[in-house]
Structures are given as C-alpha cells and as structure tokens.
Amino acid sequence: MSGNFPEYRVIARNTAAASENAIHDDAVARQYGFRGGLVPGVTVYAYLTHPLAEAWGRRWLEQGTASVRFSRPVLEGEEVSVRGSVTEQSLSGVTAALTAETEAGGECATATATLPAAPPQPLAVGAWAVTALPAERPPATREHLAAVSVLGTPVAQYDEAAAAEYLGKVSDALPLYAGPTGLVHPAFYLDQANRALDRNVRMGPWIHVGSVIRHLSLARVGERLETRGRVRGLFEKKGREFVELDLLIVAGEAARPVAQVLHTAIYRLPAPSPA
C-alpha cells in the first residue's frame, strides 16, 4: 500500500448557496473580500475523501482518521484537482497526505489521513450527553458559548433518498455509498457537525475552517444519526472569533459510536469594510 493515489478531478458545486449562512452568497461573500460565494468546506472535504475511500475502502470508513484544513476558498464551477500519496507505512498503520487545488486559487485544502492497523479503542458514549435543540436559537456570542455545557442534539435519518440526494450534491459515484446497502458518506459527518453549531446558535456569515475526524465503526444507509456535542474551546485571532466543538456521532437505536469529530469554525467575522 504505497505510492500515489490516482488524481481525482471534480467540478465544484456550491451546495449551500440557498442556506442561512450568507457566506455562500456571492454578493455577501464579496463584501468580506472573497471572489464569490464559498463552496462549503464539508463539500471540499467530500472531494478529498474520494481517493481515500477508493483506495482504502471500508476499512478506512470503519477505523480510519483524517485531519483537514481549508486555506483558500473554492467557488461554484471551478475544477478541483485532488492529489494524494502515502507518506508513511509501519506496523501501526499507513499515513497519507492529500491536497485539493483549483487553477484560480491554487492549494485550497489539505488533509492527512491514516489507516491504523488496529481498531479504535471503545469510547464512553455517556460522556457526550443528549439534550433538545433550542426552540429559539440565541445569538452566537463568546459569553453564551462559554456557558454551554451540552449542545442540542441534531438528528438525521440517512435513508436511501437522503443518501442519493447527498451523493448527488458532492458528485460522488463510488459504489461503496450507493443503494440500500451503501455506507454513509464520511463528509456527511461534517455536515452534521455544522448542524451541531448552526442549529444551536444564530450566526451571521460564518466559516468552517477545519476538522479532525476519527471513524469508530461503519454507518449504513437507513440508519438514524445523532450528533452529540459540547464546546471544547473558544479563541480570537485577527478579529475573528473561533469555536471548537467536540462531537460524537452515533447510529441506530443502540447509539453505536460511528465517528468523533473535533470541529473548528469562525462563528463571527469582523464587519466588512464599507464599499
């Protein structure tokens, strides 16, 4: 298991153009200095996972890891080129590095992924509590987020129709994910991580900047996914307010852990300069 992965090329789609987050709107994004509405980071992550899932298959979805950072925006209609290669191989597993690039923006995202030789250690599911989503979302302020001990818990039914819709959005035709016996696409976990943020607080334009993902078991089409979480940290950098979430995604009635996600986002951007 060595060498380069086959290059993967895909035309980017702004899968959140109609969402509440106005950073995906062309006019608003330009006010903040971007060339246009941002393609969601979770969608770019979906593109990065394609070579991994194609090369490493079910084992990576069951026990692999990934750490992804987004450095430059991707816009609707741009061709994204994903390249990757194995960088290390040992008795403990295999490590790979991947990059996503566009002609206009150059390198826009990087990821490091591992395929450990041993299965993950069991987690204490009870350490991530469950609570209802707020009936009315409060504004996302540092004071509020610092006081949150348990985030409201988003729930998604990843049935065959939802799977087909999601796979179409991220342009992923790998047989691994298709049909009633398919597996949940790994980028859908980050989609739900976003829901753990935006269904708990009300924000202006905001940006997902990176995530660390640890797969714990396979999740399948037809299963109910529940995202439990808590605020892990808050910090400010260059006038931008960041939040880090510690999330556990569980599947089915038995609440089987399928992924742990450490999710980082800018929840408050500096006000744009006057035109």
pLDDT, tens digit (0-9, with 9 covering 90-100), for 204-233: 999 999 999 999 999 999 999 999 999 999
Residue 147 lies in a domain: yes
Residue 111 has pLDDT above 90, yes or no: yes
What's CA 230's distance to the chain center, in Å? 16
Residue 1 has pLDDT above 60, yes or no: no
Residue 275 lies in a domain: no
| Average pLDDT rounded to a whole number, residues 108-135 | 95
| Average pLDDT rounded to a whole number, residues 72-86 | 97
Tens-place pLDDT, residues 162-213: 999 999 999 999 999 999 999 999 999 999 999 999 999 999 999 999 999 9
Q: What is the pTM of this model?
A: 0.97
Band of pLDDT at residue 2, cut at 50, 70 and 90: low
Residue 269 has pLDDT above 80, yes or no: yes
Distance CA 254, CA 140 (A): 32
Taking a C-beta distance cutoff of 8 angstroms, is the pair 267, 242 a contact?
A: yes
DSSP characters over 9-47: EEE---TTTTSS-GGGSHHHHHHTT-SSPBPPHHHHHHH
| Average pLDDT rounded to a whole number, residues 58-73 | 97
Token couple for 6: 């086959």
pLDDT of residue 3: 82
CATH number at residue 42: 3.10.129.10
Q: Which run of H or E residues covers position 164?
A: helix 160-169
Distance CA 150, CA 252 (A): 21
Q: Say how many residues make up the chain.
A: 275
Residue 42 lies in a domain: yes
Residue 2 lies in a domain: no
Residue 1 lies in a domain: no
- Treating both helix axes as pointing N-terminal to C-terminal, what angle do 186-198 and 41-63 enclose, rounded to 10 degrees? 120
Q: For the chain, what percent of residues have pLDDT higher than 90?
A: 95
pLDDT of residue 273: 73
242: left (phi over 0), alpha (psi -120 to 50) or beta: beta
Residue 245 lies in a domain: yes
Token couple for 44: 């770019």
Taking a C-beta distance cutoff of 8 angstroms, is the pair 155, 228 a contact?
A: no
**Total tally of structural domains belonging to the chain:** 1
Taking a C-beta distance cutoff of 8 angstroms, is the pair 74, 23 a contact?
A: no
Token couple for 174: 């790998």
Residue 74 lies in a domain: yes
Range of the domain at 245: 8-117+124-268
Residue 138 lies in a domain: yes
